[in-house]
Structure 1
């Protein structure tokens, strides 16, 4: 039986982030929809504890005989260490340099931030991603991107012979599952959630624009609500408390919850008054889709990928403009009829984004290129 290997290394990263969520949701959906003759396995670098990469219904995780740093260096230098399997899916640019003979390789590129906004990454991180993305465009069978916006940007920055397929993300099932009222109240109490709040979700790092959001929330015409921030701390030393002090956000108006489970996130999202996504750059913007699916109004920056995902159901503001962001947040909360229409349209649009659809499209890619490779 042919085997699809999914590189699940991102699940073991110190800050898995959105790509970690993508990896887990994708490999789960692909295992559930595997063609009858295929199996699915997860493969990682060597770690002392692989439990975070354990995905039910997926074989493994199997560890390659190298720690993450060594594996990254070998693949970066072009060493052809194949992770096993007849087809390999790399959910991030961490991937073998090329497919083995008779095998196929598909790589997901989530965004072109390393090219368009390298200042929002470390110098080393930007250079590594640029090199790995360019090589994937030259040597992989296919590159998967989540939006048309990323596909167009990839053409500009890393054009190559690899097929580029636009396959959007889906909404995690844990966020859509019904929640009993008693459980929701208990979770809200445990997290000490206020009765209404502006919500931001994502890894705390420079490109998320949380500095702009905090400055906006300190404006006198901003919504008179607390700001709740959900997400792990990433790189860049973004100190939210210091930013609140800098811009004069009143004591008690900033709540930082850090990393929480999907079950808790479902409650936090459902109870939010509005989701703010002031990002400077994105490839998809999963929190936008999740808020749409749960009936939460969204205010997002004019990043092309966010505009594409929201499809006109969110209120758009210019990047880096705290004054307009503050005024728009207030307008969304004050204009009930208009916001209700946007929310209804957002719910309807979100129904088209599923992990099942993503898995089906990816299987089409893998089986097509595996058959082509096997015939050579």
Structure 2
């Protein structure tokens, strides 16, 4: 029996009561379930997590039926991250290891003990936009350790593969394995009640992000104040209440009336499905992305996508969205965003074409396929 040992800390949201998990947690959880579902004959999956309360472990294990066992480290998450970043060989284990992030035992191995390790790098923000991360130095350090100690490095897009190679000497060990949308994002049982509770406008544009400069939401707020935007409200998901106030403040400074740009904070999966179903367009104005999960979710729901020309988003959409240049000496980014959104809002034929292209494009991504490709990668190693 061959056992794939998955370092599963990232499948557990480390915030208190977030109703919608973040992108990394989503990726790690969905990929782990896919690895369990696509395990070849005579292969099984074991999970490795840092120390946590017994009550939390019970809920964690129930989310991944089909695993052989769960191994719990003696160290909590923070201590384990610090130990591995400093090359301490603790809770490293042997055998075949897969990490859905850089949280991994990237330490010098014992030459007498066989071990195979694959880690995942989701983006290059630690170099391009370090202020967007809580600990960019840790991410850079672990990426360099991965270049030394990992047998392969998984990235979600060819864009990240090219960008990572500019910062870290990874040689030929990069493998591109994208993510996918979750089957759990479905409409609520009472969509009309939820729409009323959320105070959804009859027509609105949806976006995800914060006032972090990398996300491009500042440019979208500025765009919403331009005539081409047709006074259509913008709803923004994906940020907590405190940070969401910064979006409201930016809208006020742009001269927009109250409610024209409204942060919703984190939303449940069912509310997200409702928002995507009813949005006139989804705008992804990011200056930098590793994959673009929310953009893919919009494509899957047939929501017309307007996106920046960040390489990962261009790769993801592959012509199924309305592309907007981030940098152009001839006009401001906000003006180009407003023009693109206005075109989608004004033309039913254009919106319908984007919806059809989006649904077709989203079919190219599957968690089962991603899981099978990870198993194949380990078999090749």
**TM-score normalized by structure 1?**
0.89
How many equivalent pairs are there?
Answer: 364
Change (3 A) 1:131 1:326: same
Q: C-alpha separation between the residues in 2 aligned to 1:268 and 1:92?
A: 29
The corresponding residue for 2:300 is 293
* Equivalent position SS for 1:174: coil
Change (3 A) 1:237 1:352: closer
Contact conserved, 2:73 with 2:91, CA < 8 A, in 1? Answer: no
* Equivalent position SS for 2:368: helix
Offset at 1:5?
A: 2.1
Offset at 1:166?
A: 0.6
The corresponding residue for 1:373 is none
Q: C-alpha separation between the residues in 2 aligned to 1:257 and 1:5?
A: 38
Change (3 A) 1:236 1:163: farther
Q: Which moved more, 1:161-170 or 1:275-284?
A: 161-170
Q: C-alpha separation between the residues in 1 aligned to 2:92 and 2:235?
A: 41
* Equivalent position SS for 1:324: helix
Mapping for residues 56-67 of structure 1, pairs under 5 Å? 56-59=64-67, 61-67=70-76
* Equivalent position SS for 2:73: strand
2:349 to 337, 341, 345: 337
Q: C-alpha separation between the residues in 2 aligned to 1:204 and 1:107?
A: 30
The corresponding residue for 1:316 is 323
Offset at 1:275?
A: 0.3
Q: C-alpha separation between the residues in 1 aligned to 2:121 and 2:210?
A: 18
Deviations 1:324-370 (A, max 9, x none): 1112111111122223222212211110111111001001112332x
The corresponding residue for 1:95 is 104
Offset at 1:312?
A: 1.1
Change (3 A) 1:9 1:212: same
**TM-score normalized by structure 2?**
0.88
The corresponding residue for 2:330 is none
The corresponding residue for 2:24 is 19
Q: Unaligned regions of 5+ residues in structure 1, if any?
A: 370-376
Offset at 1:84?
A: 4.1
Q: C-alpha separation between the residues in 2 aligned to 1:68 and 1:203?
A: 26
Offset at 1:4?
A: 1.8
Q: C-alpha separation between the residues in 2 aligned to 1:255 and 1:212?
A: 15
* Equivalent position SS for 2:229: coil
Contact conserved, 1:147 with 1:305, CA < 8 A, in 2? Answer: yes
The corresponding residue for 1:7 is 7
The corresponding residue for 2:83 is 74
Deviations 1:91-125 (A, max 9, x none): 11111114663121111111111122324335xx2
- 2:281 equivalent to 1:304: no
- 2:39 equivalent to 1:34: yes
Q: C-alpha separation between the residues in 2 aligned to 1:304 and 1:229?
A: 23
Q: C-alpha separation between the residues in 2 aligned to 1:166 and 1:152?
A: 11
Mapping for residues 1-376 of structure 1, pairs under 5 Å? 1-10=1-10, 11-14=12-15, 17-48=22-53, 49-50=56-57, 53-54=60-61, 55-59=63-67, 61-84=70-93, 86-98=95-107, 101-122=113-134, 125-161=135-171, 163-175=173-185, 177=186, 179=187, 183-202=190-209, 205-233=212-240, 239-319=246-326, 321-369=333-381
Contact conserved, 1:171 with 1:289, CA < 8 A, in 2? Answer: yes
Offset at 1:52?
A: 6.4
Offset at 1:302?
A: 1.1
Q: C-alpha separation between the residues in 2 aligned to 1:143 and 1:240?
A: 36
Q: Which moved more, 1:219-228 or 1:348-357?
A: 219-228
Query: RMSD over aligned Cα, in angstroms?
Result: 2.4
Q: Which moved more, 1:78-87 or 1:36-45?
A: 78-87
* Equivalent position SS for 1:46: coil
Contact conserved, 1:3 with 1:38, CA < 8 A, in 2? Answer: yes
4+ runs deviating over 4 angstroms:
234-238
Q: C-alpha separation between the residues in 2 aligned to 1:212 and 1:200?
A: 12
